[in-house]
């Protein structure tokens, strides 16, 4: 089974954007219509979409749920959605708007008890840990702060609550088109075989994806590389046919 490509849509003010290294001061706009982009991915055969509400991450509450609802209503895509999920009300609203998975980051660091409860209540098939890393430590609040919790610590903690999937982004690589932290993902997957590690950050070409595939990783998120034409729609379509 080939590694699954999960295209990313990052949203600010209802538009598709990308940040460089999580810096809100370095925003590139790509499209005014996330729904249109989602439909294009669906037409290629993409099954799963990664949507990040950057407004929500900054405001500590999801701000673009209407766009999530548009995408889940008008396409067959299964959506993993993150950004500002800090309370049960936001989490429930996300699922009400059709999200298949909720990506939770800051809450897992700041209120691990609540996140563990969510894993147990909603199921590890629907609640994803989003562990974004800066120098080995987990970053929070849309990458604006770095915690004192290490990646290994957070994974070990939530495996006890049944966590099965997680997204790890090396912030230093994100949006830089310089290739992902191959060693980081290989080491994580080897150390925690019970957890599916979803690769995120730094993907620059199909060669990166092929290398991750050979290393045995099962899912990879690609964003800027697609928008910048470093990975073409044709290449994605061809890869999906391999799956």
Q: Give the catalytic positions in this structure.
A: 10, 132
Between CA 38 and CA 49 the distance in angstroms is 8
Tokens of 174: 């994100």
Distance CA 220, CA 210 (A): 10
Instruction: Let me know: does 169 contact 201? Beta carbons within 8 Å.
Output: yes
* Nearest CA-CA partner of 163 in 219, 114, 220, 125: 125
**Alpha-carbon distance 204 to 82, whole Å?**
22
- In sequence order, which residues have a C-beta less than 8 Å from that of residue 225 and are 6 or more positions away? 177, 203, 204, 205, 208, 231
Handedness of CA 12, 53, 166, 233 (dihedral sign): negative
H/E stretch holding 72 reads: helix 65-74
């Amino acid at each position: 089974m080939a590694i699954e490509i999960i295209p990313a849509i990052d949203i600010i003010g209802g538009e598709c954007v990308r940040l460089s290294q999580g810096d809100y001061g370095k925003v590139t706009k790509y499209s005014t219509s996330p729904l249109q982009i989602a439909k294009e991915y669906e037409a290629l055969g993409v099954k799963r979409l990664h949507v990040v509400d950057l407004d929500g991450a900054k405001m500590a509450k999801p701000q673009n749920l209407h766009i999530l609802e548009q995408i889940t209503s008008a396409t067959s895509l299964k959506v993993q959605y993150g950004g500002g999920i800090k309370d049960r009300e936001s989490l429930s609203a996300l699922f009400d708007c059709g999200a298949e998975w909720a990506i939770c980051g800051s809450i897992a660091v700041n209120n691990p008890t609540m996140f563990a409860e969510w894993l147990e209540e909603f199921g590890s098939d629907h609640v994803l840990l989003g562990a974004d890393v800066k120098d080995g430590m987990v970053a929070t609040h849309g990458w604006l702060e770095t915690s004192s919790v290490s990646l290994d610590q957070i994974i070990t903690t939530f495996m006890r609550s049944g966590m099965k999937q997680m997204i790890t982004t090396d912030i230093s690589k994100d949006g830089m088109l310089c290739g992902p932290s191959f060693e980081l993902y290989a080491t994580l997957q080897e150390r925690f075989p019970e957890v599916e590690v979803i690769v995120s950050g730094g993907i620059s070409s199909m060669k990166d994806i092929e290398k991750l595939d050979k290393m045995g990783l099962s899912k990879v998120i690609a964003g800027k590389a697609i928008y910048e034409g470093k990975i073409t729609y044709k290449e994605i379509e061809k890869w999906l046919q391999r799956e």
